[in-house]
Structure 1
């Protein structure tokens, strides 16, 4: 199917004032390739990418990843078969409007990385500011899964965002993200062992796992 060019109009709302007051809004038009107007695969992730201290935008569609700065100016774009999906129950995560991408300073060099699974089973790691490839990794996939569906930046060891959580769905029947694997970033890059794995995670069937430091110990918990 031939790709067409589309404009995604993103509305950014300002702080909410007193009741009845006007809400300040900014419209940022992001040029993104689209298969068709009703294709729900792909989404937007907000992350600081270019080092100016302002939040930027990662936009994903089938076959495409792009980064825009805080004002909507394109930083880089890449044609690649990123693992975004529509209906997660039959096609796997991330599901409708899920961006299928993560971002954070994984290697601690002060510059963010972008990480995402590709449909061939590999996981791409890019420089967030330029889109230049830093690594391709192929961690072992659980026996009951087709591939890793999601890669999320995490802090499991209390050392900052230097860890990665991978999630996969079962490859047959009603698909849910039951498989998890947590890696330190260096181990993931070098083909080392995971911090831990799980094959019976139960969360929302239509969304990926979530990460947050729920108990205030400086390390992320997984929830969903």
Structure 2
């Protein structure tokens, strides 16, 4: 797909401005741009750009995922891939890292890494959860790559070489917990990304533990967190104080104290997914989107009463804004973004659980339905009747609105960019995508689709090849919530 312009010089000036702005924003986000070749940063030379996965890497079977981070210090995003054989239990695992240009930096083969596929049955981080994190946790100016092992320790590796620098722990488990199984790098003390939050199995994953990343010393612990039931907690700077909070039906402040002044009206609710975004500009800070499925496990009579009362809720630290159902359908997945220009706030796209012919709907910032469509009416010929999955909002064009990026559901399949308001497939490509990840890796402020194709043994980067005709805007990597989201996701909450 290409866009042509009558005035090439104007378009070139926009691209040049975008490159200059990107350099300033990368520095603001803590990325070293001193060694970067700016001429190579805005775009990859091929479409898709392919990275050969080291053959020692186990296949992507649902256990493991991919993240990006600047590991080499050149200001570009590099790739970290983690996989483990089988969906749960024993299995060979590996972590490999590749630089922006596709060269293998290192592979840690046959490593002990804690990760599971089906979170409800076997533990965190859940389907497609990467189980790794990256950041400069000790302030030495170099990136580290972290994972939990099955001995309840945090393993810290040199991001550039993969060598183990140290291990933290093992950490004692709270009563009732089975395994520390999920972690995220956070800033709890205002000192930068120098802290970690751990989460323990089993379901409903109510145990959290915050520690210093340099020493492993305890900061606080929580027993009673209510969050996603198909994956781990999410963290971001919700109140804008420069420190991170934990999002959910309970919101935990940076110091471990409960932050929300309200109680969710359904104790032990089953949340399929969670998102953090500034949905309502009229409410200071960020909001939390909760996708609720009614379950039978606590009280079958309640399930029978509410089984057609699945709903999407929007909450903040101060209030429950609303809960909105649509035909009683389960909103199993959601994407949050600016999907309609001129409408106040952000919009929430919801995907129905239907096994065939999905029926998505879109809510505005007030919980009102503003769009709906049927997959059978919009999918290209040959697209799976099971619909789409691994759905993320994506800034594909660089303009005022966002789209969806997704893959074919329940198979290693094709990928697409979709208009969330109408369902129109703006672009799609035949693929054998095992997983899909969206991030800005080409450096012009737009986002790319990153695919893991196990059959070909490749990571593939799909980018919009057209010159960006829009004025440059801030890189998403300057946003705290974006950086946190892109390292802490899974199938249900991309």
What TM-score range do you get, normalising by the shorter chain? 0.7 to 0.9
Higher helix share: 2
Deviations 1:126-154 (A, max 9, x none): 11111111111212222222221012110
Match of 1:6 in 2: none
Based on CA coordinates, which of the two structures has the bigger radius of gyration? 2
Runs of 5+ unmatched residues, structure 2: 5-45, 85-92, 249-494
Match of 2:206 in 1: 178
Match of 1:82 in 2: 113
Which of 41, 56, 60 pairs up with 2:78?
56
Q: Give the structure-2-normalised TM-score.
A: 0.38
Contact 2:57–2:95 (CA under 8 A) maintained in structure 1: no
Which of 123, 127, 134 pairs up with 1:103?
134
Kindly report the root-mean-square deviation, in angstroms, between the aligned alpha carbons of the 2 structures: 2.2
Match of 1:211 in 2: 235
Q: 3-state DSSP class of the match of 1:157?
A: coil
Higher strand share: 1
Shift of 1:29: 3.0
Deviations 1:25-78 (A, max 9, x none): 5333341546556x1100001111111111111100111111111122110001
Match of 1:21 in 2: none
Match of 1:141 in 2: 173
Q: Give the structure-1-normalised TM-score.
A: 0.81
List, as ranges, runs of 4+ consecutive aligned residues in structure 1 with deviation greater than 6 Å: none
Flag the 1:216–1:133 CA change in 2: closer, same or farther, 3 A. Answer: same
Equivalenced residues, count: 196
Shift of 1:207: 1.6
Q: 3-state DSSP class of the match of 1:125?
A: strand
Q: 2:173, 2:115 → 1: CA distance?
A: 18
Q: 1:55, 1:95 → 2: CA distance?
A: 25
Q: 2:69, 2:59 → 1: CA distance?
A: 26
